[in-house]
Amino acid sequence: MNMRQLTAFGDAAVMLEALLHATPYPVLFVNLDQQLVAWNEAAQALFHLDEAAPPYLIELPGGEYLAQWLKDDHGLAEWTPAEDRRFRPYIELIGGADAPHGWVIFLRDVSETHRLVRSQAEYIRLISHDLRTPLTSVVGFTSMLQQTLAPDNPQQRTFLGKIQSGLTVLTGLLENIQDAGRFDPETGFYEMSRQPCDPGEIVRRIVKSYPMPADKPDLHVHLTIGEDVPIFSADANMLERAVSNLFDNAVKYTPNGRDINVEVQRMGDEVIIAVCDSGLGISPEDQQRLFQRHSRIVRQETKKVKGTGLGLFIVRSVALHHGGRAWVESELGQGSCFYMSLPIVGRAARQD
């Protein structure tokens, strides 16, 4: 239905009033001086507004955030006026950029959605915790069973090897499910523990101890750690999980006989961790969604690669928790480089 068809319903002001009355979410009309000139019943209830003395936006509870949002256009940032209330603001300039009259602010209530997501995350956390105990027991007894096999029965060892391989995959999947839930910047419950740590040593240990798959005996891994990479305050556990996922991805998607390059360098006030594979590369369209939860690129060449699509989501979450970011640079047929930046806290110098 276009605007011309809407005239069949009568005067525009009458239609606007009906629309605002039917909308369950707060709506604010603000002039160029950022003073409220109109609002609906939902906004009235939320802000306790007085028509006799229309306030300025900055005078509202949380108005300072909303005023800043008008200037900086924070997009999908959420506003939390109370512990149990969350709103996602949307803004539209009235009159257009050539002849602006003010703004209309629509506050979408996402409180219930947030509670459902938190409840789901807690459920996954409990299930993952309950699964870990029996899985750990199975892994332990399988390892003991390997020591009791007869040396002249290679078939038993082959079967046991497949069981252990499957358990390794299950353990990795369970760890990623747990990490994705607890590290999530929006719904996670993980409490960071910042301590002085050496990112170069963390990366070196993970690369050196990684169990290379039997079907890729000729992967060439090159590790470079800058001499000026400092020890700084970070959560070592989170960094280990992020780097493990980056390197695991590189091993999965690099064909046997090709190279994986891992670098840790200091650039200004940041430490940059880069893991570059020699795989098929990623199209610009797919790059935009790679770091989303459960996002995987489906290809005929890599359909046998197992995963939950959580690895890069964990990398991004860890970077955000540290005030950094994660990104990818890639071209189809040229491999991919994944980066994680970590701001250096203070002026920590390398401790030899």
**Residue 203 belongs to a domain with what CATH number?**
3.30.565.10
Residue 260 lies in a domain: yes
Same domain for 223 and 268: yes
For residues 176 and 249, the answer to whether their CB atoms sit within 8 Å is no
pLDDT tens by residue, 168-202: 878 888 887 888 877 887 777 788 889 999 999 99
Domain edge (last residue) among 84, 109, 134:
109
Residue 188 lies in a domain: no
- Which two three-digit tokens encode residue 298? 């489906």
Residue 102 lies in a domain: yes
Domain edge (last residue) among 109, 128, 161:
109
pLDDT tens by residue, 309-344: 788 999 999 999 999 999 999 988 889 999 999 999
In the chain, the percentage of residues whose pLDDT exceeds 90 is: 30
Q: Which residue has the higher pLDDT, 223 or 296?
A: 223
Domain extent at residue 119: 114-183
pLDDT at 9: 47
Same domain for 242 and 325: yes
State phi, psi for 96 to the nearest 5 degrees: 85, 170
Specify the number of domains making up the chain.
3
For residues 207 and 247, the answer to whether their CB atoms sit within 8 Å is yes
DSSP 343: E
Helices 236-253 and 154-183: angle between axes, nearest 10 degrees:
130
Instruction: Indicate if the alpha-carbon torsion angle 299, 301, 306, 307 is positive or negative.
Output: negative
Domain edge (last residue) among 80, 109, 138:
109
Same domain for 135 and 104: no
pLDDT at 268: 92
221 forms bridges with which residues in the sheet? Answer: 260
Q: Which residue has the higher pLDDT, 288 or 31?
A: 31
Residue 189 lies in a domain: no
Same domain for 159 and 252: no
pLDDT at 111: 82
pLDDT tens by residue, 11-58: 667 777 777 778 888 898 888 888 888 888 888 888 888 777 888 888
- 349 confidence band (pLDDT: 50, 70, 90): very low
Same domain for 213 and 156: no
In the chain, the percentage of residues whose pLDDT exceeds 70 is: 88
Same domain for 219 and 126: no
pLDDT at 200: 95
Same domain for 328 and 217: yes
- Which two three-digit tokens encode residue 157? 């060892």
Same domain for 206 and 125: no
